[in-house]
Amino acid sequence: MLASFMKIGSILTALALPFTQNTVLTRPNQMETSAGKNFHQFKMKTIDGKEIDFSQFKGKKIVVLNTASKCGYTPQYADWEKFHQANKDIVILGFPANEFGGQEPGTNAEIATFCQKNYGVSFQMMEKVVVKGGEKCELYKWLTDKNQNGWNEKEPSWNFCKYVINEKGELVNFFASGIKPTSPEFIAALNK
């Protein structure tokens, strides 16, 4: 009986996925509370173990992606690399994560090799992190807790969700997996 319920749950999740892949959230114009912390206060490690102080990104827009190497959205690496080459003034940070279908099982070294070999990724890849649930890293806690970022509680719904940070280090948008850098909603958000 439990197996039947689990199977039904898996089917319902699969059916719901197409309806959430194009979700777009934008920070309200009039926020009641302000965030106590901003993006520029974080320090994290790159995929090759070097620490980056995010304060170096003050004055730049930042796109944070949770990535995976064995996902139907993995070809977005090529889209984001093309975007990166055309928009050097916008910082892209890729965070490999394994929470969705175990689609990023590799080590940091394996992920780095995969990204370079298959997609020529030159935007900044970060070390593998947890992006959903109780064990998520501090950055994703900030991105998904309105008490910390001021308005958003949306966790990544699958691989290749995007969070956009403005020049002041404030979270301003969430885009689900189906939104690409060429999507009108994404382009409009970056032009604000």
Q: Say how many Å lie between the first and final Cα of the chain, rounded.
A: 52
> Is 115 one of the catalytic residues?
no
Residue range 104-137, pLDDT digits in tens:
999 999 999 999 999 999 999 999 999 999 999 9
Of residues 71, 115, 137, 161, which has the active-site annotation?
A: 71
pTM as predicted = 0.87
How many CB atoms lie under 10 A from the CB of residue 35?
20
CB 47 within 8 Å of CB 112: yes
pLDDT of 98 over the 70 cut: yes
Quick one: pLDDT at residue 30? 62
Quick one: pLDDT at residue 29? 78
Quick one: pLDDT at residue 20? 64
Residue 133, both tokens: 């649930």
Quick one: pLDDT at residue 13? 39
The label of the residue with tokens 């992190």 reads: 129
Residue range 5-52, pLDDT digits in tens:
334 333 333 444 444 688 888 888 765 445 578 999 999 999 999 999
In order of their start, the domains of the chain are: 21-190 (3.40.30.10)
Rounded mean pLDDT of 82-106? 97
CB 58 within 8 Å of CB 40: yes
Residue range 158-184, pLDDT digits in tens:
999 999 999 999 999 999 999 999 999
Task: Using DSSP bridges, classify how beta strands 62-67 and 162-165 pair: parallel, antiparallel or unpaired.
Answer: antiparallel
